[in-house]
Amino acid sequence: MKVYLDNNASTPIDPLVIKEMEPYINEFYGNPSSGHWLGKKGRGAIENSRNQVAKLIGAKPKEIIFTSGGSESNNMALKGIAFAYRKKGSHIITSVIEHPAIINPCKYLEANGFKVTYVGVERDGRVNPKDIEEVMTDETILVSIMHANNETGTTQPIADISKICKKKGIYFHTDAAQTVGKIRVDVDDLGIDMLSIAGHKFYASKGIGALYIKEGVEVESLIHGANHEMGKRAGTENVPGIVGLGKASQIASENMNEYNKKVSYLRDLLHEKLKSIARTNLNGHPKERLPNTLNLSFTGIDSSQMLSKLEDIALSTGSACHDSVREPSAVLTEMGITRELALGAVRFSLGRFNTEKEINYVVDEIKKLLEIRT
């Protein structure tokens, strides 16, 4: 049996999403900017998808800009605000546990004259809103904090942070690649100005994403060319990908409660069974986390070696290898987790298509490894 438990890295494309995309690959292939019937067919499909994505996050359709994925959306948000409001200030705040798609654009901005403050997190992986408020200055123009961490699944107090930003007149962006399509996300409830979406994190294809930009927020374009995406992102639109993202958004909207109930049950079942066969440590917040994510450290075990023996099970360690020297996950290290425990960490990220039979199989295979080891 082959089992896929790496859904935070990428999900399979839902068969219903593939079915929706196929006509725009095989039949309706025209440029959506063209004035003829084939172009109009593509344009209509794009606007229908824009409505579907907007509905998923409680936004207005005109606030949705389609991109190539989460990384482009994050770059557009950070660089777009930085260069649009540089005369107002040059200070940006983010956290030490952000995805590289936030950290590296911030490093780029630092190299181009901006100042970036990286706030720490508490032991449970959450940012303290007070820590963000304390480092704000008159030069601060943007705060960017991820909605949920990709390794631990821990969710951040976004609404509380947004209140501070509003009070100070500072723009607020959240990387929601791990939350959109998994848990309820409402941009008004969160109080954010920008939000990044990655299609392949919730059963759409790779190479498609979106950026929510609240009406009235000005963002400098990254890609210049023709007047696509309301003049904010040039380039002929990826119609099949956009159609797939729209369909994935519709499916997520209609099945959110069912999805949450199923994956949280399987996650907790997996956790209980693993605790019964090994000494483990939960990494991240025990409650404020994604329903599909379980990050565990196996005491006294090198997780990379364990995963290399689980050839039919797709999992992630979160650690990095450089020149054959294994380094612990930077996220776990920043949370204050010891090197030994961090090197024993495994991320189990479940998805819509996982089953209880697969969970039992994974536990049995890990148990066999542990028995051989002892």
Q: Which residues are catalytic?
A: 321
| Closest by Cα among 206, 204, 187 to 196 | 187
- What token pair was written down for 55? 């509905």
DSSP strands (E only) in the chain: 3-4, 64-67, 91-95, 115-119, 140-144, 171-175, 194-198, 209-213, 280-282, 293-298, 313-314, 320-322, 325-327, 345-349
- What token pair was written down for 36? 């003829």
* Cα dist from 26 to 20, 45, 49, 194, 198, whole Å: 11, 15, 18, 34, 24
Under DSSP, is residue 60 helix (H, G, I), strand (E, B) or coil?
coil
Task: State how far Cα 241 lies from the chain centre.
Answer: 18
- Is the Cα dihedral 54, 77, 329, 207 positive or negative? positive
The answer to whether 331 touches 152, Cβ cutoff 8 Å, is yes
Cα separation, 365 vs 91, in Å, equals 49
The count of residues in the chain is 374
* Cα dist from 8 to 149, 172, 200, 243, 337, whole Å: 10, 24, 9, 22, 21
Pairing relationship of beta strands 140-144 and 64-67 according to DSSP bridges = unpaired
* Cα dist from 251 to 53, 55, 148, 182, 202, whole Å: 11, 11, 21, 11, 10
